[in-house]
Amino acid sequence: MLRLVMLRLAFGAMTVLAASVLIFAGTELLPGDLATAILQNSATPENVAEMRAQLGLDRPAPVRYAEWISHAAQGDLGISLSNQHPVAEELAPRLRNSFFLAAFAACVSVPLAVLLGLLAAIYQNSWYDRAVNFITLLTISVPEYLVGYLLVKYLSVRWGLFPSLANVAPENTLLERLDLTFLPMLTLVLVVVAHMMRMTRASVLNIMASPYIEMAFLKGLTKSRVVVRHAFPNALAPIISVIALNLAYLIVGVVVVEAVFVYPGLGQLLVDAVAKHDLPVVQACGLIFACVFILLNLLADIMAILSNPRLRRAR
């Protein structure tokens, strides 16, 4: 078991390194020149050359990448070009806000999705099963920004139940934060519940075709008891994987949702940094998103191995 975990961690570290190369290369391939964008109207050839030297853009890209990744490994993410503050200080409060929103959405979506999936498996082919599958397919097909605007229109503008802007501040209490972030949380829940619920239903129904499930029915057990006590524990591995992917989406995919509700999280900071051509902030946000996504996938692999003894043995 320890060997499997260490192997997964080694693959995760290699994946983070590969992601950092892609992030740095992607920012290098962006159209336009950073020095020219900063100087704007005063971008004479002499000023542009001086600014490129100040930013270190006159050095080869591999040298700049090696310096950037080595400093990032030590916690130094560089200096923001827009306000000359350390990027780590800019990211810290935004990262806490994004984690709070993701945790709020996860606490609602994961139990709800598992419960709906188990009920759909128990009442297979019933009106409830068809209705839940139709609604979840609808929510998967609709973009999250459209879901957010519809929630703002009806729950905020028309009915006045919740605030339309999630402008949280450090002095807000927990209840105030929950109220301000309810609409972005609901938007994320409507998007991710569908994936987790459908995977829970499909995994449980796949296990229901096993011989030991038929033996449980022959013993006279009810379908709900068979699903909850026998089928669900053996269907945990794929369910854990899809839950981890959706939890990663709650961190990585919040860019659009945060922009819709003007939520001061990491996604909104990334959008602002792209508009300002603040490459150190863009690179830092991309690296954090990649690390979170890879870490959650590693945790999903490890939890899937722990939940299924058959996966612990080499084939």
Return the domain boundaries, the chain.
Answer: 2-73, 95-312
Amino acid identity of residue 256, one-letter, is: V
pLDDT digit string, tens, across residues 172-195: 899 999 999 999 999 999 888 988
- At residue 77 the predicted structure's pLDDT band, cuts being 50, 70 and 90, is confident
Kindly report the backbone phi and psi dihedral angles of residue 60, in degrees, each rounded to the nearest multiple of 5, phi listed first.
-60, 150
Alpha-carbon span 14 to 111, nearest angstrom: 33
pLDDT of residue 4: 76
Question: Tokens at residue 132, please?
Answer: 């839940």
- State what percent of residues in the chain have pLDDT above 70: 95
- Residue 200 has a CB neighbour count (10 Å cut-off) of 26
The chain-wide mean pLDDT, for the chain, equals 85
- Looking at 38-52, 69-83, 92-106, 167-181, which range is the least confident one? 38-52
Residue 261: partners with Cβ closer than 8 Å, 6 or more residues away: 148, 152, 164, 165, 166, 183, 184, 187
3-state SS class at 102:
helix
Alpha-carbon span 219 to 202, nearest angstrom: 24
- Looking at 51-65, 95-109, 192-206, 260-274, which range is the least confident one? 51-65
Higher pLDDT pick, 105 / 8: 105
pLDDT above 70: residue 251: yes
Which element (helix H / strand E) includes 185?
Answer: helix 182-207
Contact at 8 Å (CB) between 174 and 191? no
pLDDT above 60: residue 314: no
pLDDT of residue 310: 62
pLDDT of residue 315: 52
pLDDT of residue 220: 86
Alpha-carbon span 280 to 69, nearest angstrom: 12
pLDDT of residue 90: 87
pLDDT of residue 311: 59
CA 45 to chain centre: 42
Distance from first CA to last CA of the chain, Å, rounded? 14
- Please name which of 86, 80, 96 lies closest in space to residue 282, comparing C-alpha atoms: 80
Query: Does CATH place domain 95-312 in 1.10.3720.10?
Result: yes
CA 150 to chain centre: 22
pLDDT above 90: residue 55: no
DSSP string, 224-271: HHHIIIIIHHHTHHHHHHHHHHHHHHHHHTTHHHHHHHT--SHHHHHH
- At residue 308 the predicted structure's pLDDT band, cuts being 50, 70 and 90, is low
Query: What average pLDDT score do residues 214-235 get?
Result: 87
